[in-house]
């Protein structure tokens, strides 16, 4: 087996039966099933949804993105071995924990393969809900420049970099471009306050004002559950992003659920506890890869300055990163997954053929 063969880099060209365009993001591709296949699977598998619920096959890749670019490594390595399986395994685990604790369901109905989810269509809440337990990253950079108010929350004076905050902060931002909301620019990823959301809850995709309280409860309880479990492995859950949506259950009731991914090294910062107590930060998340890139390239401003995007894209396209650095990222993702879930990550020799074979058993491949 060559290392390059063990990586699923391209995931939007699989022979999955669909009558709609394949939606491909930075990491995942979504194949919406035909109405016939959706209805058949709901009946055959007994999924707890209404008979006419649209279903999709969501395939995760091993690609790695940072600073809005996809990076690659030496020896034809177009992704990180084991990364996709680790991300899915972590999300599956936390989603299951949330459900067991009575918090909320997720959009996932079935996991036929480590790189594949079968999901139900959700009506997304247009908020990226970010929880912060420590002041670091973009919040620290803004604080250091004198900003004290974040998403309507005022921070006290005298905070130090990487310090634990007095309480868990919810600092939401827009998911996509929202038009016509007073005080909220029509741009993706704009910070918003709770008052912005309350005053315009329908524009943000909430079905009732009361659901804003529910979403904050699900945020805090979900964050604390992950934080407490990671602490048993001496890992610090620093900050993370949650996404929510609505689905209709088999009884026709609308309910708020968790969606996208949760508690992963892609969507969270996770620090090593022993190093933090020693005054150091060791990143066990994608933030470590970002920091490596900033140190690896001679002019880090290319990665940080949005006005230099063409240069940044050329940098990612024309530079194969050292194999050792790519494998360090693999160890980070697999290590966090195995610590959190207690399940070993097996790296497939040929994930593409493997998942096509599995989906043939679901009669979803022509």
> Taking a C-beta distance cutoff of 8 angstroms, is the pair 97, 106 a contact?
no
Contact partners, residue 247, CB within 8 Å, separation at least 6: 49, 53, 105, 107, 120, 121, 122, 123, 254, 255, 257
Lowest mean pLDDT among 25-29, 32-36, 218-222: 25-29
User: What pLDDT, on a 0 to 100 scale, did the predictor assign at position 1?
Assistant: 65
Q: Is the pLDDT of residue 63 over 90?
A: yes
Q: How far apart are CA 168 and CA 220, in angstroms?
A: 8
Kindly report, residue by residue over 87-136, the tens digit of the pLDDT: 999 999 999 999 999 999 999 999 999 999 999 999 999 999 999 999 99
Percentage of the chain exceeding pLDDT 90: 90
5-21 tens-digit pLDDT = 999 999 999 999 999 99
| Nearest CA-CA partner of 319 in 304, 291, 298, 333 | 298
Q: Is 123-277 in the same CATH topology as 3-122+342-361?
A: no
Cα(269)–Cα(264) distance, rounded to whole angstroms?
A: 9
Residue 2 has pLDDT above 90, yes or no: no
Class of domain 123-277: alpha beta
Whole-angstrom Cα distance, residue 219 to residue 130? Answer: 9
- DSSP character at residue 106: B
Count of positions (residues) in the chain: 366
The SS3 assignment for 208 reads coil
Domain boundary assignment for the chain: 3-122+342-361, 123-277
Longest dimension (CA), the chain: 62
Residue 364 to residue 361: CA distance in whole angstroms: 8
Average model confidence (pLDDT) for the chain? 95
Q: Strand, coil or helix: what is 156?
A: coil
Residue 15 DSSP symbol? -
Average of pLDDT values for 253-280?
96
CATH topology of domain 3-122+342-361: Phosphorylase Kinase; domain 1 (3.30.200)
In sequence order, the 6+-apart residues with CB closer than 8 A to the CB of 363 are: 37, 40
Residue labelled with tokens 């994608």: 286
Strands 320-321 and 69-73, bridge-based pairing: parallel
What pLDDT, on the 0 to 100 scale, is given for residue 183? 85
Q: Answer whether 214's CB lies under 8 Å from 206's CB.
A: no
Answer yes or no: are the C-beta atoms of 177 and 202 closer than 8 Å. Answer: no
Dump pLDDT digits (tens) for 185-198: 888 888 999 999 99
């Amino acid at each position: 087996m060559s290392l390059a063969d063990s990586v699923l880099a391209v995931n939007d060209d699989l022979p999955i039966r669909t009558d709609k365009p394949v939606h491909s993001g930075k990491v995942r591709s979504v194949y919406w099933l035909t109405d016939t296949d959706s209805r058949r699977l709901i009946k055959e598998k007994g999924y707890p949804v209404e008979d006419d619920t649209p279903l999709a096959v969501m395939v995760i890749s091993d690609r790695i993105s940072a600073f809005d670019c996809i990076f690659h490594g030496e020896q034809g390595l177009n992704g990180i071995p084991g990364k996709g399986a680790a991300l899915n395994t972590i999300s599956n685990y936390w989603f299951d924990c949330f459900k067991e604790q009575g918090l909320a369901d997720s959009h996932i109905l079935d996991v036929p393969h480590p790189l594949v989810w079968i999901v139900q269509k959700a009506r997304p809440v247009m908020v990226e809900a970010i929880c912060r337990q420590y002041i670091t990253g973009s919040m620290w950079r803004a604080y250091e420049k004198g900003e004290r108010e974040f998403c309507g929350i005022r921070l006290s004076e005298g905070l130090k970099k990487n310090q634990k905050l007095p309480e868990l902060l919810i600092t939401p931002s827009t998911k996509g471009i929202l038009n016509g909301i007073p005080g909220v620019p029509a741009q993706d990823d704009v910070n918003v306050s709770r008052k912005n959301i309350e005053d315009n809850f329908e524009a943000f995709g909430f079905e009732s004002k009361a659901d804003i309280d529910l979403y904050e409860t699900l945020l805090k309880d979900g964050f604390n559950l992950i934080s407490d479990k990671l602490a048993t492995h001496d890992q610090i859950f620093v900050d993370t992003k949650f996404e929510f949506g609505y689905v209709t259950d088999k009884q026709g009731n609308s309910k708020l659920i968790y969606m996208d991914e949760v508690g992963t090294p892609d969507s969270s910062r996770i620090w090593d506890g022993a190093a933090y107590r020693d005054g150091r930060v060791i990143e066990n998340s994608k933030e470590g890869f970002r920091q490596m890139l900033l140190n690896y390239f001679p002019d880090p401003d290319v990665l940080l300055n949005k006005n230099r995007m063409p240069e940044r894209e050329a940098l990612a396209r024309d530079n194969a990163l050292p194999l050792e650095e790519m494998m360090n990222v693999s160890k980070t993702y697999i290590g966090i997954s195995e610590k959190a879930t207690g399940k070993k990550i097996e790296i497939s020799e040929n994930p593409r053929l493997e998942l096509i074979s599995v989906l043939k058993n679901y009669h979803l491949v022509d």
